[in-house]
Amino acid sequence: MKTKWALFVVHFLIAFVLIGCDKIAVLDPKGPQAQTQANVIWLSIGIMSVIVVVVCAILVFVLVKYRDSKLPKDYEPPYIEGNRVVETIIVIVPILIVAFFSVVTIITNNKVEATPQAYKGQDPLIVYASSSNWKWHFSYPEENIETVNYLYIPTNRPLEFKLYSFGPITSFWIPQLGGQKYAMSDMVTTLHLAADEAGEMMGRNANFSGVGFAENSFYVEAMSQDDFDDWVTEVKETAEPLTEEKFQQLLKPGHLGQLTFTGTHLPFSPAPEGEHAGHNHGKDGPKADTNGNQEHDVHEHDTSTS
């Protein structure tokens, strides 16, 4: 009877693992980074379930065997200080598990913080994704177009998102492409993603940013490079240019639908990187981005040799 809930917990875990197969966004990856992360998640769920099962099994065994009502009346529990062997085992086994996970985590960290292995060497598509209350602005500097609240991306090509915010800290997240990263007002963070297959996806701000936070999401569509190029051409032919005045209007707090512009806001409202970074004091030299890549241009103030 008392073991019921223990069984319940175990059952629940099993059900949890089984349900998680196809529909759940994070476990249904559409890109290499999300795939890496889903692998880590499955691996850790697997090993961790074993630990939970072992603990539950010992607990059930102890409760069944040493419950007061089942023991002879004169049974008096012994005084046991501890046992070297047992205590060594319960130290060594967790250390081994943690050591294994440490190796996994170091490898996967470096994977998700770099251009995906499969697409190395390709020219990445750079998108400046900035948030304002409560919208997302996507600037494609090479294509010289900008969208609001929707994102079109080519498949089979590395994507480099440069993230920053025009307000509170937000977090750029497309679960099926990969994990999130913060967008902040005084520096640019870089998120490396890629899409393996065409399709529609949900993207959102995952970090609470005030009243309009719940609706602060955006639509993502991955398409072939050809379709993507067609779309860019079409935008250039049909969309209005983005003026500074228009952009200031867009920044005002509120929600907007999906908008498209030619040109980006970057020329008149540059991203907080390099000399525009919030903490650029002129002498520290170029800031390393999240990769540690020193890819920014050395700017004019950089005269010190340190």
Partner 1 sequence: MGYFSRFAVPHPSPAIYASMIAIAVTVFLIIAGITYFKKWIYLWDGWITTVDHKKIGIMYLISALLMLFRGGVDALMMRAQLAVPDNKLLDSQHYNEVFSTHGVIMVLFMAMPYIMGLMNFVVPLQIGARDVAFPRLNAVSFWLFFMGAMLFNLSFVIGGSPDAGWSSYFPLAGNEFSPHVGTNYYMISIQIAGIGTLMTGINFLTTILKMRAPGMTLMRMPMFTWASLTTCIIIIFAFPVLTIALLMGTMDRLFATKFFTITDGGMDMLWANLFWVWGHPEVYILILPAFGLFSEIIPTFSRRNIYGYTSMVASMVLISFYSFLVWTHHFFTMGQTAYVNSIFSITTMIIAIPTGIKIFNWLFTMWRGRIRFTVPMLYCLAFIPLFTIGGVTGVMLAMSAADYQYHNTMFLVAHFHNVIIPGVVFAVLGASTYYWPKMFGFVLNEKIGKLAFWFLVIGFCLAFFPMYITGLDGQARRMYTYSEDTGFGPWNMVATIGAVCMAISFVLIVYMIYYSIRNAKKEAVSDPWDARNLEWATHTPVPEYNFAIIPQVNSREAFWDAKYKGHPLFKGDYEKIHMPNNSGVPFLMSLFFFALGFGLVFSMWYLAICGLIGVFICMAHRSFEQDHGRYISVEEIKETEAKYGGTHK
- Cβ-Cβ contacts under 8 Å for 161 (sequence gap 6 or more): 127, 128, 129, 172, 181, 190, 191, 192, 193
Q: Based on CB atoms, which residue is closest to partner 1, 23 or 120?
A: 23
Q: Based on CB atoms, which residue is closest to partner 1, 178 or 263?
A: 178
Query: x-or-dash pattern for partner 1, window 62-91, by CB under 8 A?
Result: xx--xxx--x---xxxxxxxx---xx--xx
Give residues 230-289 in contact with partner 1 (rule: CB under 8 A). 278-279, 288
Distance of CA 269 to CAs 21, 59, 156, 261, 266, Å?
44, 61, 31, 15, 5
Member of 211, 229, 270, 301 binding partner 1 (CB under 8 A): 211
Q: Which stretch binds partner 1 (CB under 8 A): 8-16, 119-127, 227-235, 296-304?
A: 8-16
Q: Based on CB atoms, which residue is closest to partner 1, 36 or 260?
A: 36
- Cβ-Cβ contacts under 8 Å for 197 (sequence gap 6 or more): 30, 155, 222
- How crowded is residue 1: how many other Cβ atoms within 10 Å of its Cβ? 4
Member of 111, 137, 157, 265 binding partner 1 (CB under 8 A): 111
- Chain position carrying tokens 């498209």: 260
Q: What is the DSSP letter of 88?
A: H
Residue 176 burial by CB count (10 A; 0-12/13-18/19+): exposed, middle or buried?
Answer: buried
The reply on whether position 167 binds partner 1 by CB under 8 A is yes
Burial 242-262, CB ≥16 within 10 A → b, else e: beeeebeebbeeeeeeebbbb
Member of 14, 59, 118, 298 binding partner 1 (CB under 8 A): 59
Q: Which stretch binds partner 1 (CB under 8 A): 111-119, 137-145, 153-161, 260-268?
A: 111-119
Q: Based on CB atoms, which residue is closest to partner 1, 54 or 241?
A: 54
- Strand boundaries in 69-210, DSSP class E: 125-132, 135-140, 145-148, 150-154, 159-165, 170-174, 178-183, 189-193, 199-205
The reply on whether position 186 binds partner 1 by CB under 8 A is yes
Member of 180, 228, 247, 265 binding partner 1 (CB under 8 A): 180
The reply on whether position 195 binds partner 1 by CB under 8 A is no
* Residue count, binding to partner 1 (CB under 8 A): 98
The reply on whether position 294 binds partner 1 by CB under 8 A is no
How many residues make up the chain in this entry? 306
Q: Based on CB atoms, which residue is closest to partner 1, 44 or 233?
A: 44
